[in-house]
């Protein structure tokens, strides 16, 4: 049935009640472990304080960098709860609650909502490789189960599944609480297409630290960052300088960080960033298998990049 003009206006107004969850640099925070592989909550709290003191604009917990895929559901939810309690409203908390099983994503999302987080991050279903219609149905079902604003997470290099611009635009336009997307496809042309279709309806975040400024230039709200784990103040500055109109200064900061960004991804994330935090004396521990410790030659590469950048 065709909507009346009043009906269409109502939907538009309903979409507008969701402000951006955050602008600037949100850290995709690591999960520190004890030697036995259990979560080190004391260390996690220290990392949260380090981030907030460094000007980080949001904490994204239980994402890829947080090794969510190897946490039990109980650990996953307990860490989200602990993060929300530790942050205590000082900056927004976004909880990663995506899954390749729609029912699991609904469960994690509805539970996370109870803990007072500010938003959810939903990765595309991995391994299943859903169609675009399947992606729409998946994300809509999860969104309909909660009242929180949701950021989609497009990272086809990990999931084997790409949210096409038309699908992302449709979700952000038609589903009330789907408000944005973390774009880690690396495909600037695809991202530009999305923003040309639905730029005023989508909060765009860079998912790649080496593309913060290009994505901000397309109307992006900020970055969900790995780099920020080791350089929160500098990552925040890349965004803030851009927002303040100092585009040249922002670009300079972006380019200065490129070698470090490359080193942080010379092995699969979060292997290098956890090694980097350990080099800084943060003692975040090791990794859950099947991730393995960083190769010695790559540790030296990372150490040099961190030293050159001025954080070691």
Q: What phi-psi label fits residue 160: left (phi over 0), alpha (psi between -120 and 50 degrees) or beta?
A: left
Enter the tokens of residue 49.
């304080």
CA-to-CA dists, residue 273 to 252, 293, 308, 311, angstroms: 22, 11, 16, 13
**Cβ–Cβ under 8 Å, residues 209 and 223:** yes
Q: Which of helix, strand or coil describes residue 285?
A: coil
Active site residue 182: yes
Positive or negative, the CA dihedral 249, 254, 259, 264 is positive
What is the rounded distance in angstroms from the CA atom of residue 34 to the CA atom of residue 43?
Answer: 9
Task: Say which of 182, 201, 221, 282 is annotated catalytic.
Answer: 182
What is the rounded distance in angstroms from the CA atom of residue 263 to the CA atom of residue 260?
Answer: 5
Enter the tokens of residue 214.
């290009």
What is the rounded distance in angstroms from the CA atom of residue 288 to the CA atom of residue 267?
Answer: 15
Active site residue 205: no
Other beta carbons within 10 angstroms of residue 292's beta carbon come to: 11
**Residue ranges in 114-175 assigned as alpha helix (H):** 132-144, 156-159, 165-174
Task: Say which of 15, 43, 136, 153 is annotated catalytic.
Answer: 153
Backbone angles phi, psi at 236, to 5 degrees: -60, -40
Strands 178-183 and 203-206: parallel
Q: Which of helix, strand or coil describes residue 93?
A: strand
Catalytic sites, residue numbers:
153, 182
């Amino acid at each position: 049935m065709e909507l009346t003009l009043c009906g269409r206006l109502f939907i538009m107004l309903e979409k507008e009640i969701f402000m951006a969850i955050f602008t600037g640099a949100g850290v995709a925070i690591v999960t520190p472990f004890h030697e036995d592989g259990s979560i080190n909550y004391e260390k996690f709290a220290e990392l949260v304080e380090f981030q907030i003191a460094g000007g980080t604009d949001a904490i994204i917990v239980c994402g890829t960098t947080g090794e969510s895929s190897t946490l039990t559901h109980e650990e996953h939810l307990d860490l989200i709860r602990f993060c929300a309690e530790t942050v205590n409203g000082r900056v927004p908390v976004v909880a990663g609650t995506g899954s390749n099983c729609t029912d699991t994503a609904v469960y994690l999302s509805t539970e996370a909502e109870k803990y007072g987080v500010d938003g959810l991050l939903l990765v595309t279903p991995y391994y299943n490789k859903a169609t675009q219609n399947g992606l729409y149905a998946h994300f809509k079902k999860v969104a309909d189960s909660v009242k929180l604003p949701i950021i989609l997470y497009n990272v086809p290099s990990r999931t084997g599944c790409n949210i096409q611009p038309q699908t992302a635009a449709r979700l952000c336009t038609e589903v009330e609480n789907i408000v944005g997307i973390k774009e880690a496809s690396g495909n600037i042309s695809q991202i530009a297409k999305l923003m040309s279709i639905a730029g005023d309806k989508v909060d765009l975040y860079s998912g790649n630290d080496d593309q913060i400024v290009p994505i901000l230039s397309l109307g992006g709200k900020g970055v969900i960052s790995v780099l920020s784990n080791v350089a929160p103040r500098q990552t925040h500055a890349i965004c803030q300088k851009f927002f303040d109109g100092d585009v040249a200064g922002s670009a300079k900061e972006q380019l200065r960080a490129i070698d470090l960004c490359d080193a942080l991804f010379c092995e699969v994330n979060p292997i290098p960033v956890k090694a980097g935090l350990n080099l800084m004396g943060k003692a975040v521990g090791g990794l859950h298998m099947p991730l393995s410790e960083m190769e010695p030659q790559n540790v030296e590469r990372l150490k040099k990049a961190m030293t050159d950048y001025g954080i070691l």
